[in-house]
Amino acid sequence: MVPRSKLIFWIAFFVVAFLGCTHSDPTSYRYFKPSSQHRLLDVTPCSTLADLARTYGLDIVLASQQFEVDNGKWIVQGSAPHTGTKAYAQLFAAEFSVYPPNLVRRAYLRRIIFCQDLYCEGLRRGIVPDFISGDLYVDILGRGGGELYKRSIIHHEFFHMINYQADGLSDRDDRWSSLNTRGFKYGRGGWSVQDVPGTSILSDDYPGFLNHFSMSAMVEDKAEIFSHMIVDSAYMKERIARDPIVGAKVQRMKEFLEHYCKEVDESFWLRAQDVKRADQGSTH
């Protein structure tokens, strides 16, 4: 029989070891165990992006038929892409290639699924990140908008995956909250305003925020800052000059990301600026 003192010691040891791996080990990941309802998609490899897949160690695939996936937390629905795959793949590759492989690894991204008619919990979506399985569902036709919007949403949704691994998409980030004006409170979440006309259009009408959508939740505010730092640096430079709160958020974003992944340094932002974008400087 194991002495009580030794039993307590070993229990404490394994608890500390588990918590340490969960919160401090840079190779550990935050995710839920998929429910028994989760099933594999019927997919085929996307040959157009084979090189990109190899570079990042990802599976990049095309949905082969209509699908519905229940990961135990939400339901994602979509169908096989019929047209426009090659053109969109080129746009996607140009944007995604700015990322260091280590950042993609730390975001726990495992598979990118190109599809059409994408919905999550009944809401039409352009891209859906699945933090549970490490999947990123991408509707190649999107939800409309110009080319800059189609580019920015890639980075917006990928940042949610980074954010989830960093703090579980917490809305309790005191450092970020302190950048807003005193007394400001975010809304109910991006889902509550995604169909509001003009919600994602860049505007000076919301001091401290890039657009109406940014005010819906802290996670959306962060994702909008991140995505536009990448796809529209010229606009961001102008906006920072007349909006000190946005400027402070940009600086905080850079600090956070370089601490989270050392490869996201100044050279990363310069590389992002070098991507050729047809309507750079527009407001969607």
Each residue of 181-214: pLDDT tens digit?
999 999 999 988 988 999 999 999 999 999 999 9
Q: Is residue 259 part of a domain?
A: yes
139 belongs to a structural domain: yes
Residue 29's SS3 state is: coil
How many structural domains compose the chain? 2
Last residue of one domain, picked from the residues 125, 143, 161: 143
pLDDT at site 55: 97
Residues of the chain with pLDDT under 50: 2, 5-39, 281-284
- Do residues 137 and 229 share a domain? no
What is the distance between the alpha carbons of residues 256 and 33, in angstroms, rounded to a whole number?
28
The range of the structural domain enclosing residue 208 comes to 170-273
- Let me know if residue 154 belongs to a domain: no
The pLDDT tens digits of the residues spanning 111-125 come to 999 999 999 999 999
224: three-class secondary structure by DSSP: helix
- Containing 162, the helix (H) or strand (E) segment is helix 147-167
In this structure, is residue 225 part of a structural domain?
yes
Do residue 118 and residue 186 come from a single domain?
no
Give domain status of residue 257, yes or no.
yes
For residue 85, being part of any structural domain is answered with yes
Distance CA 42, CA 115 (A): 11
Q: Which of 195, 267, 247, 188 is nearest to 220 (CA)?
A: 188
Of the chain, the end-to-end C-alpha distance in Å amounts to: 70
Model pLDDT, residue 83: 85
pTM across the whole model: 0.85
